[in-house]
Amino acid sequence: MTCEGKVKHLIRTIQEGNLSHLKEELGKDEGVLDAVLKGHFGRSGDTMLHYAARYGHLPILKYLVEELGANIELVNSDYKRALHEAASMGHRMCVSYLLAQGARIDCLKKADWTPLMMACTRKNLEVIKDLITSGASLALTNKDGWSSFHIACREGDPEIIQYFLEVSPNIWDVESKIQRTPLHTVAMHGHFEAAELLLERCAYKPDAKDSCGVTPFMDAVQNGHIEIAKLLLERHKADFLATDALGAQSLHRATVTAQDEAIRFLVTELGVNVNERATELKLTALHYAAKEGHTNTIETLLMLEIDIQARDVKGRSALHMACAGQHTNCIKKLIAAGLTDSTDDSGMLASQLLKKPEALKVLHNITDCK
């Protein structure tokens, strides 16, 4: 077996957690020992220590460190250490061992993620507790300005969020680099219990906007989390008519993401005007649906009696949007509903925006039959 083949074989042995076989193979050929201790393998540049920590094999981890003298601070191509690996996979015993061996608790991998941040991607409260009680910083943020609390809120485990608030009562008062709060995060990801907890324990301002002008209510609606939207209305007095940086309301944002149930909720239960326009370009929800190619959403809006002839600030109809996006089914739906191939303010026909011959043929055939 070549040296490279032996090393690959040893990696598989470590992944499988077979310590006795690892010792046996190293006893046969001490020539690969240097590779075991210092070598970097694969695209990620992992060391043997990374593999042992990632797969949670504590006996192998101990053998590499205590008997072979492996350096616990070795990094891979992403600057991840063994502690990052163990924390990210929720291997509590490996985390505890590495900390006891003096591993740097707030070491940073690529994009400035700490082991605590990595642990928060898993719903393993005990690992998170071990890191925090061992001195992991709660204040550090990654390159996007996300704290460990942000990440915990993204995963949405109420018990973990509650623990963070107990050890650091003001930890909720944080924003990412684009001004998104943890409340935005739980609303976006649909974590109802987490949202209840944040509204009960934290003093977030109603309708706090991120750098794009998006509120937690908008996040909930555009991702189809209607129960959270209702919770924000009841507990936080959210403004369902608030606009983002481009003047779009929750109605328009729900249309972009084809959240038909949310659209019906806004219009039929909250009384939002289905013909409401985004203030910047005067686009209606129908324009947005046609632009994105959401045929079912167009049908929903038509059932809600949206004005099919509405034009934006440039004189464009929803048909112009559908043609520009080459959305053949949307074109069919709009023309069948009575929208004609009219011009915008520049005199351009909607059909002139079509580039695909088959789509243009569809438009002409439907128009000829009317």
At 151-203, the pLDDT tens digits run 999 999 999 999 999 999 999 999 999 999 999 999 999 999 999 999 999 99
Indicate which CATH number applies to the domain containing 277: 1.25.40.20
Residue 254 lies in a domain: yes
**In the predicted model, what is the mean pLDDT of residues 294-299?**
98
User: Per 3-state DSSP, what percentage of the chain is helix, strand, and coil (rounded to 5)?
Assistant: 55, 0, 45
Residue 295 lies in a domain: yes
pLDDT of residue 18: 95
**Residue 204 reports pLDDT greater than 90:** yes
Residue 33 lies in a domain: no
**In the predicted model, what is the mean pLDDT of residues 125-147?**
97
Structural contact between residues 309 and 287, judged by C-beta atoms closer than 8 angstroms:
no
**Residue 1 reports pLDDT greater than 50:** no
Residue 212 lies in a domain: no
Report the percent of the chain where pLDDT is more than 70: 94
Residue 173 lies in a domain: no
Residue 285 lies in a domain: yes
Closest CA to 260 of 283, 308, 237, 292: 292
**Residue 356 reports pLDDT greater than 80:** no
189 phi and psi angles, rounded to 5 deg: -95, 0
Report the percent of the chain where pLDDT is more than 90: 80
Label residue 42 by pLDDT band (50, 70, 90).
confident
In whole angstroms, what is the distance from residue 23 CA to residue 67 CA?
A: 11
**In the predicted model, what is the mean pLDDT of residues 317-332?**
92
**In the predicted model, what is the mean pLDDT of residues 229-256?**
97
Residue 319 lies in a domain: yes
Residue 17 lies in a domain: no
Domain count, the chain: 1
Q: Which domain holds residue 286?
A: 247-370
Regarding predicted confidence, which is higher, 2 or 243?
A: 243
